[in-house]
Structure 1
């Protein structure tokens, strides 16, 4: 693939016959027009559609509900092909990290042998499959993540440290982050005294501000939540990872008082699956309400991560990042609450088709199909704008044919060859 500098996708399209979200509980019917990657019309009056550009694609999505592309607030994209690692409740993240490098050194070494570029692409695909259009990568912004052709948007402007224990000079990293970009780090990830004391250390260092974004916060108490609210900081929770590592869930009764609360799905090293799996887990195990959860994967992370192009909503002048699922007549929030990867029929980023189910693929004009490759994952076929064949070949060269798992779900190269034929 050609080396490209990161720039916004700029497609032209009209989606017709859809019901589209006007927030978590409201919706309307009509058409959505996207010019140069941005929504220029959304509504029932088709007469307001402007004259299409010559490159515009017309897609009939009758029978579908259109939602804003989801925002995954926390991921480690390079670990998408790894299995879950860990076998007991730990006190904190340092203890877990040290143990898995002792007990599972061979598994880690094998997966690490897959080229990083390939692993990062599979991390992007894992997000695309579940309707994520923007993801925040908690690590170095590798060149691969800055390319136009990467399958999803990756947050480009941010400051970060790993954590209090493993993050080096936190104050230096914080001061190097401009106020219009988020400063992100793991904090209070655990259940022991070390995890409980981390917020006080961050406060002492002076790195809690309006653009600070803490990840996990499992050990936070009421005073800690009050401090975050006072400083107008943001928090990202990853419930299934906490449950796996520490056998404890975030106290959502406590955390629901925070407006700046988002959801992340973390990596397959600890998470139950993708962001849709995390949504269902959080609602079931933590009793997060559908409307709250809807905000935690749309408008809340868009605000916390300082996104500026209308991400997390379907609205005029916003970016054309949209997903579509079969319309069963429920509210957007209630629909999102029950979705799985198999339900995501269509993903568009900046007006460009990035994913289509088999049924939607047949509705696409030829120009929109061009460049899509089929992926067989866990019994489902999805057409993706990604070099699927080559990425799978390189992963199988290390892990073995038909032995590649994406977020725990099997991929099959034989099935891909059959579909491609």
Structure 2
């Protein structure tokens, strides 16, 4: 074979801009990505790429920007079927008076599969290629992942009390581990423990989760310090702040994902820093439920890893991670009194590499580097709302780009083409969502 002949790859993508995330603060103009066996094999100037590589699957993306797919580090995907059902409530009444009764009545494997597919379609169309899910019936959610081609982490929920999926903490743990065993060879799926919150899981199952997670080397995701009320109640009940309790029980470590984290004092933040745990910031949901403000700038200044999540569509009401970037950046500025807080680059990292790191996947995804999985999205930058372009990063964070996501690939397979998911029928999906509404709505009155 002639040493000068081009190397054949599975896909070759030429773009106007590439934002690889690593090296940091890098914007590449007229570069290309070569993909083989689901992996990025090269990232180089387009002129060189056309000389060195050939592919029957070549994409010329004029006026488009390539970047890593977004990582939604916390949500409840199937709750998309409850979107808009109980708006304008505080967290306590939203959960106790609306969500938990609705879940008891409606949530089963079919609900979870249909609701997950609805969420996945929305996430793919808004740039998310990997999401973390904490919800019941993970087997059904895993089927939705398999059907759609998206990447996911399933944090199977653990509670002291019964639901339609489990009877008590031991039952949840047993069922969650069985689901993990069943799906562990699915390359796009990871499993983690999902103890719901400090106030819904008692000490004994918390300690058991800590021991099992360490033994199995898997993550733990938990809602924590979501409101000041949660912290005050814990102090009144046990004389101990929730984070201090989790630390005492062995739950805080480098594989722990702490979601929300609005009511923090300096001692709480120091516990997180020393443990190496990750924080998952859900700005829109926290605002909508009036839960409080996560001190993101303070956390970032202490080198605590902060990822972004949408939470579920029942409390957001969308799964648009570009919107979360925007809100997170503005909130950090307002709450710190510093207009330079959480700049556009940091916001973009939170939605990509920081999310991957929180999920323990940063060796695979989160940046466009040789040897990593080819999880990437293409964004059309030609629209009038993005003009003129001085800094592409600024447009990504501050001009609402979700509806401009045109294509996406996960492990090298195209899962979104011209805004259409390649493995999901949107017409059928909308019909199913409407059928669920027609069943659920009469029961709400």
Flag whether TM exceeds 0.5 (same fold): yes
Secondary structure in 2 matching 1:59: strand
- State the distance in 2 between where 1:382 and 1:48 align: 31
> In angstroms, what is the RMSD of aligned CA positions?
2.9
Aligned to 1:369: none
Q: Using the alignment, how far apart are the partners of 1:148 and 1:355 within structure 2?
A: 15
Q: Are the aligned partners of 1:160 and 1:174 in contact in 2 as well (CA < 8 Å)?
A: no
Aligned to 1:98: 96
Q: Deviations over 1:191-248 (max 9, x none)?
A: 2203672112212222111211111111111211111001111111111211121253
The whole-number CA distance in structure 2 between the counterparts of 1:225 and 1:304 is 17
* Whole-angstrom CA distance in 1 between matches of 2:292 and 2:362: 35
Q: Is the 8 A contact 1:81 1:111 kept in 2?
A: no
Q: Given that residues 114 and 394 in structure 1 are in contact (C-alpha distance below 8 angstroms), is that contact kept between their aligned partners in structure 2?
A: no
Structure 1 Cα separation of the partners of residues 421 and 148 of structure 2: 15
Pairwise CA distance, 1:321: 0.9
Question: Using a 3 Å threshold, how does the CA distance of structure 1 residues 98 and 251 change in structure 2: closer, same or farther?
Answer: same
Out of 113-122 and 302-311, give the one that drifted further: 113-122
What is the correspondence of 1:127-276 to structure 2 with a 5 Å cutoff?
Answer: 127-140=123-136, 141-145=138-142, 147-155=145-153, 156-168=190-202, 169-178=205-214, 180-192=217-229, 193-194=232-233, 197-246=241-290, 248-257=292-301, 258-274=303-319, 275-276=321-322
- Pick from 376, 386, 391: which aligns with 1:322? 376
In structure 2, do the counterparts of structure 1 residues 34 and 336 end up closer, same or farther at CA, with 3 Å as the change threshold? same
Cα distance in 1 between the residues matched to 2:115 and 2:292: 30
Q: Secondary structure at the match of 1:262?
A: strand
Q: How many Å separate the matches in 2 of 1:200 and 1:95?
A: 26
Q: Conserved in 1, the CA contact under 8 Å of 2:15 and 2:66?
A: no
Equivalent pair of 2:210/2:249 in contact (CA under 8 Å): no
SS in 2 for 1:42: strand
TM-score by length of 1: 0.77
Change (3 A) 1:84 1:278: farther
CA offset digits 1:270-303 (Å, max 9, x no partner): 1152222222222223333212211111111111
CA distance in 2, matches of 1:89, 1:281: 20
| Stretches of structure 2 lacking an aligned partner (at least 5 in a row) | 1-8, 154-189, 236-240, 334-341
Question: Contact (CA 8 Å) 1:110, 1:399: kept in 2 or not?
Answer: no
TM-score, normalising length: structure 2: 0.74
1:355-394 equivalent positions in 2, closer than 5 A: 355-357=416-418, 382-394=420-432
